[in-house]
């Protein structure tokens, strides 16, 4: 039997396999009906096909996917649906949104080679990422999709934006899959996960691939241990009696907008930490600069060093060879023997980082990555152990708390609102709570005993959200969008009805 990640995206003629039964099915049916009538109203004909991809919550393993390490996310029920139809008469891509009050129609030429204007950030750019990715990949695979044609598109997303729940990946994945389905093409899930990861880079974010992999490969009832190079997914059955509650800090995390000082800055710091470690551990300077891309590339050297101290922990090498004080660019250039701008010029996003950065905290970033990578496997080991559910939940909670400390103190990707929210979660009975997603805003995820979930959510409302409702930051009726319990949901799908 083919492995899960080698199967193509499933195609359904009804909603039940994805949305289940009962009220969630009714709700989904309403959304699809609304999407169809909106499509007819705007474009004058019905869509040809629909695709959906879910958001995700990362349970543990933050900011380590782009360093080549495994992560452990699960899909949530919130998703992005794209309705699409080829329009042979006009060579234009017209992208509308169900929420037309917030998102006006974007139009682009039907040209897969167009460059995105990143200074003028438009929501439709995410669709174009998928569009470019599809054409590049079809060409690579030798699939003839003919001359570019116009596409009429409507998007309906329920993943809150800027929440750290991967609204951007849900949008890019559902767009790519919808375009693929419109051209009657299907590829294996692992290939689509890779393509969608690569094509989000058109928008200037150096994504590590976790968000796309879980959105495409998720299965109902399971979290997934996602490995990279090559992309693989292993089902992880979470213990009974525990539920994950996701709560928005109401600080929006604008990953693409703040990339140079936040997200991409950390990508560069990790790369520099890896190169400096390689040189200090005996690699030739030129070889380190040309071959070392991520901290996982030098883990072997770090572990060998630790071995001489009767340990296998790569953090020992970090403590020995990377100073805790921030490095200046000049100090790093002295070690590498080359200007940062000369060996990081492979990527325009990296040059933006160098322009904006005053210094580089190599010790802290490397210590976070190596310790967080270890916590992911500890999490998986706990879940597959013989411990009672009660003991298992406690250990998982401890790992989540350690992860948050590392993200907050070593990686510095938290913010005051997240710190307040995580503390309130723990004070109200969460076994563990941590920021999730890129950070700098967005959501926290808390592991809570199933029996106390309703009370826990009420307490969060009282201790965190009520003051924000009073100030008019959010509406009381919208609270369900910002705090909710979630079980692992299903991955991407295509619908033809």
Active site residues: 211
**Token couple for 182:** 């419109």
Instruction: For 20, list phi and psi in degrees, rounded to 5.
Output: 75, -155
Query: Can you give the three-state secondary structure of the chain, one letter per residue?
Result: CCCHHHCECCEECCCHHHHCCHHHHHHHHHHHHHHHHHHHHHHCCCCCEEEEEEEEEEEECCCCHHHCCCEEEEEEEEEEEEEEEEECCCCEEEEEECCCCCCCCEEEECCCCCCCCCCCCCCCHHHHHHHHHHHHHHHHCCCCCCCCCEEEEEEEECCCCCCCCCHHHHHHHHHHHHHHHHCCCCCEHHHHHHHHHHHHHHHCCCCCCHHHHHHHHCECCEEEEEECCCCEEEEECCCCCEEEEEEECCCCCCCCCCCCCCHHHHHHHHHHHHHHHHHHCCCCHHHHHHHCCCHHHHHHHHHHHHHCCCCCCCHHHHHHHCCCCCECHHHHHHHHCCCHHHHCCCCHHHHHHHHHCCCECHHHHHHHHHHHHHHHHHHHHHHCCCCCHHHHHHHHHHHHHHHHHHHHHHCCCCCHHHHHHHHHHHHCCCCEEEECCCCCCCEEEEEEEHHHHHHHHHHHHHHHHHHHHHCCCCCHHHHHHHEEEECCCCCCEEECC
| b/e per residue 171-192 (b: at least 16 CB within 10 A) | bbbbbbbbbbbbbeebbbbbbb
Interacting residues of 23 by C-beta distance below 8 A, sequence separation 6+: none
Q: CA 466, CA 460: separation in Å to the nearest integer?
A: 9
Instruction: For 441, list phi and psi in degrees, rounded to 5.
Output: 120, -170
Is the backbone of residue 437 left (phi > 0), alpha (psi -120 to 50) or beta? left
């Amino acid at each position: 039997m083919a492995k899960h990640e080698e199967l193509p995206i499933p195609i359904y003629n009804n909603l039940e396999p994805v949305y289940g039964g009962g009220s969630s099915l009714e709700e989904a049916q309403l959304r699809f009906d609304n999407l169809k009538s909106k499509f007819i109203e705007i474009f004058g004909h019905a869509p040809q096909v629909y695709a959906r991809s879910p958001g995700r919550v990362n349970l543990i393993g933050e900011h380590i996917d782009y360093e080549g390490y495994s992560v452990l996310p699960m899909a949530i029920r919130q998703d992005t649906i794209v309705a699409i139809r080829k329009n042979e008469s006009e060579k234009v891509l017209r992208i509308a949104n169900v929420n037309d009050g917030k998102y006006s129609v974007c139009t682009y030429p039907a040209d897969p080679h167009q460059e995105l204007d990143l200074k003028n950030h438009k929501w439709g750019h995410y669709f174009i990422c998928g569009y470019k990715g599809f054409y590049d990949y079809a060409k690579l695979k030798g699939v003839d999709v003919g001359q570019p044609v116009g596409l009429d598109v409507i998007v309906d997303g329920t993943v809150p934006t800027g929440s750290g729940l991967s609204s951007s990946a849900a949008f890019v994945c559902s767009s790519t899959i919808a375009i693929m389905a419109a051209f009657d093409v299907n590829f294996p899930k692992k290939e689509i996960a890779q393509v969608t990861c690569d094509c989000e880079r058109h928008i200037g974010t150096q994504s590590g691939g976790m968000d796309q992999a879980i959105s495409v490969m998720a299965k109902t009832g399971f979290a997934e241990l996602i490995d990279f190079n090559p992309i693989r997914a292993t089902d992880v059955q979470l213990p009974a009696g525990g539920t994950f509650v996701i709560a928005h800090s109401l600080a929006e995390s604008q990953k693409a907008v703040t990339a140079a000082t936040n997200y991409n800055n950390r990508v560069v710091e990790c790369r520099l930490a890896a190169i400096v470690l390689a040189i200090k551990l005996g690699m030739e300077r030129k070889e380190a600069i040309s071959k070392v891309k991520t901290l996982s590339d030098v883990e072997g050297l770090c572990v060998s060093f630790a071995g001489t101290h009767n340990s296998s922990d790569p953090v020992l090498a970090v403590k020995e060879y990377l100073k805790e004080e921030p490095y200046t660019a000049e100090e790093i250039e002295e070690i590498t023997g080359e200007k940062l701008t000369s060996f990081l010029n492979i990527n325009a996003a990296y040059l933006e980082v160098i322009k904006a950065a005053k210094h580089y905290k190599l010790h802290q970033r490397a210590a976070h990555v190596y310790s967080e990578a270890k916590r992911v496997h500890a999490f998986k080991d706990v879940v597959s152990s013989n411990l009672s559910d009660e003991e298992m939940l406690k250990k998982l909670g401890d790992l989540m708390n350690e992860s948050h400390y590392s993200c907050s103190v070593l990686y510095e990707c938290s913010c005051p609102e997240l710190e307040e929210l995580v503390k309130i979660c723990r004070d109200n009975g969460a076994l563990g709570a941590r920021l999730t997603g890129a950070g700098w805003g967005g959501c926290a995820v808390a592991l809570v005993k199933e029996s106390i979930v309703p009370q826990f959510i009420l307490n969060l409302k009282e201790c965190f959200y009520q003051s924000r409702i009073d100030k008019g930051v959010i509406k009381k009726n919208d609270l369900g969008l910002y705090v909710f319990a979630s079980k692992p949901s299903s991955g991407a799908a295509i619908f033809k009805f």
